[in-house]
Chain A
Amino acid sequence: MIRFDGVTKQYPDGTVAVDDLSLTAPTGKITVLVGPSGCGKTTSLRMVNRMIEPTRGSISLDGQDTGRMPQAELRRGIGYVIQHAGLFPHRTVLDNIGTVPRLLGWDRKRTAERSRELLERVGLELHLGDRYPAQLSGGQQQRVGVARALAADPPVMLMDEPFSAVDPIVRDQLQDEFLRLQDELGKTIVFVTHDIDEAIKLGDQVAVLRVGGTLAQVAEPSYLLAHPADDFVADFVGRDRGYRALQFQATPRLPLRSERTVVLGERPEGSAAWLLVVDDDRHPLGWVEPARIGGRAVEDSDLHRGGTVARAGGTLRGALDAALSSPSRRGVVVDDSGSLVGTVLAHEVLSAIEDTDRPERDEDDPVHGGAVAVAADEA
């Protein structure tokens, strides 16, 4: 558990970067600090491992005041991932990963074994281990950055916009893998981002900071979207927060329709305007308009691939998006193995949404306790 207790950082020129911040990052959870530039989120993060010293207040790690711990030892016990990965360009990938273990005095053999283990853990092939960072893509470098932070198995990780320098598709992938990894490892993580979508996707709790370094609200993502504490938070979480909040709501039982399909390479039958094309395992591939291809077998080039695919038992957001993005207006729903289960229409998802409650405040939940007054409700 990381605890900020009335932490203030004021620079000699009078600028206040962080103002009286009190916040608890619970053990084994991801706490995201999010806010616009100048809100002091990175400063707050760096005060945890004392790359920046607080002017007032204290930060404790599992009850121990970090201000009293020797700096280098403190830092070697905290994993740190930064934007652009910050890899050492002159060291191979494996040597980069082994940095902290070597600093801690592990021997070469043990370090090398651990580094290889981590390389695989973050989803990189072993042969990349002998490369230099410049020979990797941005996404690969970022994975190495994560592996390096994990090398000495620190209980605490600090992550400063680790995924913001890669393209959106890779970012999405990295986020998913990061969550999967966290499921296995259960680290206490403080994660800084300026991207509210990322905050909501990754955070177990999200702390919104405003310019000047004050805490505006801290809450679970679903709660934050449903009940922003004030105009600033409401504005920051964005206009489409109603839609985004759907991603936290598991799909109730939707009335799935069975869908007529055609296997790729075969002739479509019947007179439907749109027909779903699947492969031999009933994995959906895309839609065709039988009238347009004139009775011949369906080819790959006939496919309309615009639609997203929702997972049965997934989120309401996924189901609605599948319906909205489908050329036929019928949203494709698959099971966990990716095989077709059926389709759903947008208005059916909407009526399911109308039947679900908005997330409410749980009075016993320590996440929402204390620091901020939460607006009673909003129109």
Chain B
Amino acid sequence: MDWLADNWRTVLDLSLSHLYLAGVPLVVGLVLSLPLGWAAKRWRGSYPAVVTTTGLLYTIPSLALFVIMPLVLGTKILDPVNVVVAMTIYTVALLARTVADGLLSVPDHVEQAATAMGYRGLRRLFGVELPLAVPVIAAGLRVAAVSNVSIVSIASVVGVSQLGNLLVDGYRRIIWGELLTGIVATMVLALLLDLVIQTLARTLTPWRRAAGARS
């Protein structure tokens, strides 16, 4: 507690960086996953290819990805953009499949009705399919959020600051207060993001609560 009282400003700064490094990729990754998931549904033959390829991205060790990024992007080694791009890749790895599955979860009779009524293209996607895919996509997004918050910690090793710093430094110098703060702050951040996503999903799906309260 003493350690936290003396360093709370640093902890706050690191938390905000952590949130940025984990959160921005979450949003960008979701946006990139939409066309991928849509294509996997539109051309059913491409589903295995899309899901397997994106899924494989997740198996790249994070440290390796952080180190390769400057070579691929031509950025400086300490540039946070490296981490943002790497985290975006992980997010897409998790969400492309989720978006595809979400869009595929739209009931067949609803799809038929949409077709029969003359729904096409983007209007169909944003008016009918995506709103109904929200519950599935939100579930995937929660997993991706927690995964991002956890993986980002490794970025301390390549010199990009966030809450992982507390873990590395606390471990090296055996400062229990710092270690504990790092762990708890990471958890709190993950829970916070999870809560935001849940709230957002609930707001977007008033019809699901209505279904539960059927009279």
Could you list which residues of chain A lie within 8 angstroms of chain B, going by C-beta atoms?
A: 49, 51, 71-76, 78, 80, 82-91, 99-100, 103, 131-135, 158
Q: Which residue of A lies closest to B115 (CB)?
A: A51
Task: Give chain A residues whose Cβ lies under 8 Å from the Cβ of B110.
Answer: 86-89
Task: Give chain A residues whose Cβ lies under 8 Å from the Cβ of B215.
Answer: 135
| Listed A/B pairs (8) with beta-carbon separation below 8 Å | A75-B118, A76-B118, A86-B110, A87-B113, A89-B211, A91-B207, A100-B118, A133-B207
Q: Does A134 lie within 8 Å of B117, measured CB to CB? A: no
Q: Does A86 lie within 8 Å of B118, measured CB to CB? A: no
Q: How far is the CA of A49 from the CA of B114 in the complex (A)?
A: 13
Cβ-defined partner of B210 (8 Å) among A51, A85, A99, A134: A134
Q: Does B112 lie within 8 Å of A51, measured CB to CB? A: yes
Q: Does B132 lie within 8 Å of A90, measured CB to CB? A: yes
Q: Does B109 lie within 8 Å of A83, measured CB to CB? A: yes
Q: How far is the CA of A103 from the CA of B123 in the complex (A)?
A: 9
Q: Does B211 lie within 8 Å of A132, measured CB to CB? A: yes
Q: Does B116 lie within 8 Å of A99, measured CB to CB? A: no
Q: Does B120 lie within 8 Å of A90, measured CB to CB? A: no
Q: How far is the CA of A99 from the CA of B110 in the complex (A)?
A: 13
Task: Give chain A residues whose Cβ lies under 8 Å from the Cβ of B113.
Answer: 80, 82, 86-88
Q: How far is the CA of A131 from the CA of B213 in the complex (A)?
A: 11
Q: Does A49 lie within 8 Å of B116, measured CB to CB? A: yes
Q: Which residue of B lies closest to A136 (CB)?
A: B214
Q: Does B109 lie within 8 Å of A82, measured CB to CB? A: yes
Closest 7 CB pairs of A and B: A86-B113, A134-B211, A80-B116, A75-B118, A72-B118, A132-B210, A76-B118
The verdict on B58 contacting chain A, using a C-beta distance below 8 Å, is no
- List 12 other contacts, CB 8 Å, given A88-B132, A132-B207, A134-B210: A51-B115, A72-B120, A84-B109, A87-B113, A88-B110, A89-B107, A90-B205, A91-B207, A100-B117, A131-B210, A135-B210, A135-B214
Whole-angstrom distance from the CB of B59 to the nearest CB of chain A?
Answer: 35
Chain B 38-72 interface mask (CB, 8 Å, partner A; 1/0): 00000000000000000000000000000000000
The verdict on B139 contacting chain A, using a C-beta distance below 8 Å, is no
Q: Which residue of A lies closest to B116 (CB)?
A: A80
Q: How far is the CA of A83 from the CA of B116 in the complex (A)?
A: 13
Task: Give chain B residues whose Cβ lies under 8 Å from the Cβ of A73.
Answer: 118
Cβ-defined partner of B112 (8 Å) among A86, A100, A131: A86
Q: Which of B190-215 contact A (CB under 8 A)?
A: 205-207, 210-211, 213-215
The verdict on B168 contacting chain A, using a C-beta distance below 8 Å, is no
The verdict on B78 contacting chain A, using a C-beta distance below 8 Å, is no
The verdict on B151 contacting chain A, using a C-beta distance below 8 Å, is no
Task: Give chain A residues whose Cβ lies under 8 Å from the Cβ of B117.
Answer: 75-76, 80, 99-100, 103
The verdict on B20 contacting chain A, using a C-beta distance below 8 Å, is no
Whole-angstrom distance from the CB of B138 to the nearest CB of chain A?
Answer: 14
Cβ-defined partner of B132 (8 Å) among A80, A86, A89: A89
Whole-angstrom distance from the CB of A51 to the nearest CB of chain B?
Answer: 6
Q: Does B118 lie within 8 Å of A89, measured CB to CB? A: no
Q: Does B109 lie within 8 Å of A90, measured CB to CB? A: no
Most buried by A among B112, B116, B123, B206: B116
Task: Give chain A residues whose Cβ lies under 8 Å from the Cβ of B211.
Answer: 89, 132, 134-135
Q: How far is the CA of A99 from the CA of B115 in the complex (A)?
A: 12
Q: How far is the CA of A192 from the CA of B211 in the complex (A)?
A: 30
Chain B 106-131 interface mask (CB, 8 Å, partner A; 1/0): 01011011111111100100001001
Q: Does A89 lie within 8 Å of B207, measured CB to CB? A: yes
Q: Does B214 lie within 8 Å of A51, measured CB to CB? A: no
Q: Does B214 lie within 8 Å of A86, measured CB to CB? A: no
Q: How far is the CA of A99 from the CA of B119 in the complex (A)?
A: 10
Chain B 88-119 interface mask (CB, 8 Å, partner A; 1/0): 00000000000000000001011011111111
Q: How far is the CA of A49 from the CA of B128 in the complex (A)?
A: 20
Task: Give chain A residues whose Cβ lies under 8 Å from the Cβ of B123.
Answer: 103
Whole-angstrom distance from the CB of A75 to the nearest CB of chain B?
Answer: 4
Q: Does B109 lie within 8 Å of A135, measured CB to CB? A: no
Q: Which residue of A lies closest to B204 (CB)?
A: A90
Whole-angstrom distance from the CB of B133 to the nearest CB of chain A?
Answer: 10
Task: Give chain A residues whose Cβ lies under 8 Å from the Cβ of B131.
Answer: 90
Q: How far is the CA of A86 from the CA of B117 in the complex (A)?
A: 11
Whole-angstrom distance from the CB of A316 to the nearest CB of chain B?
Answer: 40
Q: How far is the CA of A100 from the CA of B118 in the complex (A)?
A: 8
Q: Does B112 lie within 8 Å of A71, measured CB to CB? A: no
Cβ-defined partner of B128 (8 Å) among A75, A85, A88, A131: A88
- A82-B109, A83-B109, A135-B215 are contacts. A90–B116 as well, Cβ < 8 Å? no
Whole-angstrom distance from the CB of B126 to the nearest CB of chain A?
Answer: 12
Q: How far is the CA of A74 from the CA of B115 in the complex (A)?
A: 11
Q: Does A71 lie within 8 Å of B118, measured CB to CB? A: yes
Q: How far is the CA of A299 from the CA of B115 in the complex (A)?
A: 57
Q: How far is the CA of A84 from the CA of B112 in the complex (A)?
A: 11
Whole-angstrom distance from the CB of A104 to the nearest CB of chain B?
Answer: 9
Task: Give chain B residues whose Cβ lies under 8 Å from the Cβ of A80.
Answer: 113, 116-117
Q: Which residue of A lies closest to B119 (CB)?
A: A103
